[in-house]
Amino acid sequence: MENKLTLTEANGETVTADILTFFSITETGNKYAIYTFNEVDSNGLIKLHVSKVVAENGQNVLKKIEDDNEWSKVKEIMKDMIVGGER
């Protein structure tokens, strides 16, 4: 993977992730990033992470998606991506 994302944890530690894709939800204008730390789960699948991308103080910041309706929409878009649909 070429696209890397450097994240700074709350404790100041930096970690690097591979960016898989960015997408937005047209209706809300919100932007999201799908990325991975290449961790493998108990089923042998690579774990994916999704965060909302928010501009703060001139920088893009990743925020946790806390709203259930927003999560439902994000999951719907991800499912469409997996089966080859477009939005």
Residues facing residue 50 across a β-bridge? 34
Number of domains observed in the structure of the chain: 1
Does the pTM of the predicted model rise above 0.75?
A: yes
Q: Is the pLDDT of residue 2 over 80?
A: no
Q: Is residue 87 part of a domain?
A: no
Task: Look at the chain and count its residues.
Answer: 87
Are 31 and 70 in contact by the 8 Å Cβ rule? The answer is no
Domain membership of residue 70 (yes or no) is yes
Contact 51, 37 (CB under 8 A): no
Q: Tell me if 47 is assigned to some domain.
A: yes
pLDDT tens, position by position, 13-61:
999 999 999 999 988 899 999 999 999 999 999 999 999 999 999 888 8
The answer to whether residue 30 sits within a structural domain is: yes
Residue 69 lies in a domain: yes
Q: Is 67 inside any structural domain?
A: yes
pLDDT tens, residue by residue, 48-86: 999 999 999 988 889 999 999 999 999 999 998 888 755
Range of the domain at 75: 4-82
Residue 39 lies in a domain: yes
